[in-house]
Amino acid sequence: MKKIAGRRLALATAALLPLTLAAPATALADTQSPTLSHAATPPARMSTVGGALLGKPGTQANLGSGAPVLPKDLSARSWIVADAESGDVLAAHNAHWRLPPASTLKMLFADTVLPKFPRSEKHKVAPSDLAGMGAGSSLVGIKEGETYTVHDLWLGVFLRSGNDAVHVLSSMNHGVKQTVEDMQAHAEELQALDTHVVSPDGYDAGGQVSSAYDLTLFARSGLQKKDFREYCSTVRAKFPGETTKKHGRTTRGSFEIQNTNRLLAGDSDITPYQGIAGVKNGNTTNAGATFTGVAERGGRVLLVTVMNPEKKDHNEVYKEAARLLDWGFGAAGKVTPVGELVAPRGAQAGSQPSAPATAAPGGEQTSAKPVAASVRESGSGGVGVALAIAAGVLVLLAAGVFLVNRRWPLPDLVRRRTRP
């Protein structure tokens, strides 16, 4: 009986083998998706913005000849790998699953608020500016009664993920309520329809959600802005300290802050990723660890977003992001895209922007839509040198009409030399 059962099993296996080999690449990719169980299950149906496959649960990939297999040890609930310029989504896993975003939501905050104030503008912090921050918030160390430039505040947002800096900037923007409304409106303009904003800093709040897809849209839009690119690629910088009086003299020192993005700054068990240029990380109780990164290699620019890895290694989100970036650079040109990053509503071919271009302080042109600009080299603290690369030019008519079809090239993206 044992021999008969063994023979039947062998025959069944042989019969199934041709079916497996003939399976489409998408199905094969699904077998490489994480086998670890999650505490929650993605919805059976999700948004199809960007393509029907992106609305399906599980891993979506269409591997062509010579394409590397997807990493087998991914534990994130959701992730996406996309070409930052063409908008092609190379592969995704639960891309539209609406999850708590943590501080990666600060990308939307920055993309919304950053153009509103010149970097040289100064603001004296009032007690009301710092009201309403959640317990245990990440802080850069802003003090009541001290004066900071807008440039200082944005360094605090990007490098230290400072909720105190977010609240001060929100206060300058007519308050948290107004800022939340502005962010929600901007998310809808970007077609980031999975996102519901409750707090501008990404702190856990009831109903506050986004998705790997939407976070990638925020990064792609933000990277069109010169200052955004500078801040998100800065490794370390000096931040103003407290004013003190001693022997009749008033002095104000400074202290160093370092970027908490470990693919940019490194850590004890992780080295800076070759070609990394930002963007933003986060971590809260409800969201777990989240991260969106952009990297350039061989003239190709990729975006990756990873949300809530099940593995609780403190740097797991960066390790999984690095593996996905490695895969993306190896797979580029060898996979059929499973979707696309959609352009903003106002950037559709033949449509008009929602606001006319204006001259900002310092002469830089701004508008409701980003324009090409050069990158500023600063704040690297000696770890790598920020370089500008000509990654393409946005085509704008005098009336401001985008004629880019679905391509949205990144102007002068920051990249970094390989560290010694």
By annotation, the residues acting in catalysis are: 103, 106, 161
Q: DSSP secondary structure string, 307-365?
A: EEESS--TTHHHHHHHHHHHHHHHHTTSB--SEE-PPPGGGSTTPPPSS--EEPTTS-E
Separation of alpha carbons 339 and 51, rounded Å: 5
Separation of alpha carbons 87 and 417, rounded Å: 25
Contact of 166 with 201, CB cutoff 8 Å: yes
Separation of alpha carbons 392 and 86, rounded Å: 11
Residue 232 has what DSSP assignment? H
User: H-helix or E-strand containing 18?
Assistant: helix 2-21
Contact of 334 with 342, CB cutoff 8 Å: no
Separation of alpha carbons 282 and 307, rounded Å: 9
Of residues 151, 152, 131, the one with CA closest to residue 141: 152
Q: Among the residues of 124-260, which ranges form H helices?
A: 150-160, 163-172, 176-189, 212-222, 226-232
Give 252's strand partners.
243
Separation of alpha carbons 337 and 60, rounded Å: 9
* 114-117-121 Cα angle (round to 5): 130
Separation of alpha carbons 261 and 99, rounded Å: 20
Look up residue 111 and give its two tokens.
Answer: 């993309």
